[in-house]
Amino acid sequence: MPTADFSASQTVKALLQLREMILAGELEPGERISELWVVEKLQVSRTPVRAALIRLQEEGLLEEIPSGGFSIRSFTEAEICDSIELRGCMEGMAARLAAERGAPEPILRDLSDAVAEIDAVLAGALDDRKFSAYVDLNARFHRLLAGAAQSPLIERQIDKCMRLPFASASAFVMVQAIDEGAREMLLLAQAQHRSVLEAIENREGARAEALMREHSRIAHRNLKTALTNNAALARLPGGTLIRHG
């Protein structure tokens, strides 16, 4: 493997492992981590480790400290709400442009297929397997929507938004698994998926944008559920990073 490719693969390895450790609660908010510690922990050389740490800083999971190294960040409810709002704004813009410009037929078919597959998942009793399948299909729908605007710039910015802590479209879905109203909320989200797709197909830009902005509000409800229910918070990846009060 060429040196550049090997270094890139090592960076991805370090990035994924560190992110998983943080979200799993293995590293506590405020805990300091250094390049050397990561090198020894993950058995990866310093250059890719440095790149991974910088990437996690850009994502908001780490902050650089004056004495050297990084520390694990924590997040207030207000910060998470801002991230969700930012994602909703960007996705709303993508939906509007997709409608106004006319989304490519292959993307419309893929979006329609994703909606149909979610319908199948939501049929019958819900369990952890179905919630997991919903997470994957929901993420696919949102990725396709980002591409429907036919703007690499907007697609990149939405990807950045999705990587902000707790801002992704599926960040709080697993919280709903213990909510008595889970089915109703998932059906509402699915109805919004379908309505957004119809608005794009009908070239209704303003409607598509408004629907997508409203769609992001479900994440706010799920955040409130997580913050008032310890069992729900325990199911939330990275839940230990949320600062109460």
Domain assignments of the chain as residue spans, ordered by start: 3-74, 76-238
CA dist 41 and 152 (Å) reads 37
Architecture label for domain 3-74: Orthogonal Bundle (1.10)
Mean predicted confidence (pLDDT) in 166-191:
80
pLDDT of residue 169: 86
Beta carbons of 156 and 150 less than 8 angstroms apart: no
Q: Read off the pLDDT band of 3 (50, 70, 90).
A: low
Q: Read off the pLDDT band of 4 (50, 70, 90).
A: low
Token pair for 33 = 């981590």
Task: Specify whether domain 76-238 bears CATH 1.20.120.530.
Answer: yes
Instruction: Report the chain's mean pLDDT, rounded to a whole number.
Output: 89
Mean predicted confidence (pLDDT) in 78-95:
94
Is the pLDDT score of 61 beyond 80? Answer: yes
End-to-end distance of the chain based on CA atoms, in angstroms?
Answer: 50
Is the pLDDT score of 27 beyond 70? Answer: yes
CA dist 193 and 191 (Å) reads 5
Mark 138-165 as b/e (b = at least 16 C-beta within 10 Å).
Answer: bbbbbbbbbbbbebeebbebbeebbbbb
pLDDT of residue 137: 95
Is the pLDDT score of 232 beyond 80? Answer: no
Mean predicted confidence (pLDDT) in 195-219:
96
Q: Which among 13-27, 65-79, 196-210 has the top mean pLDDT?
A: 196-210
Q: Is the full-model pTM beyond 0.85?
A: no
Token pair for 132 = 């997991």
| 3-class SS string, the chain | CCHHHHHHHHHHHHHHHHHHHHHCCCCCCCCEECHHHHHHHHCCCHHHHHHHHHHHHHHCCEEECCCCCEEECCEEHHHHHHHHHHHHHHHHHHHHHHHHHCCCHHHHHHHHHHHHHHHHHHCCCCCHHHHHHHHHHHHHHHHHHHHHCCCHHHHHHHHHHHHCCCCCCCCCHHHHHHCCCHHHHHHHHHHHHHHHHHHHHCCCHHHHHHHHHHHCHHHHHHHHHHHCCHHHHHHCCCHHHEECC
Token pair for 187 = 């059906």
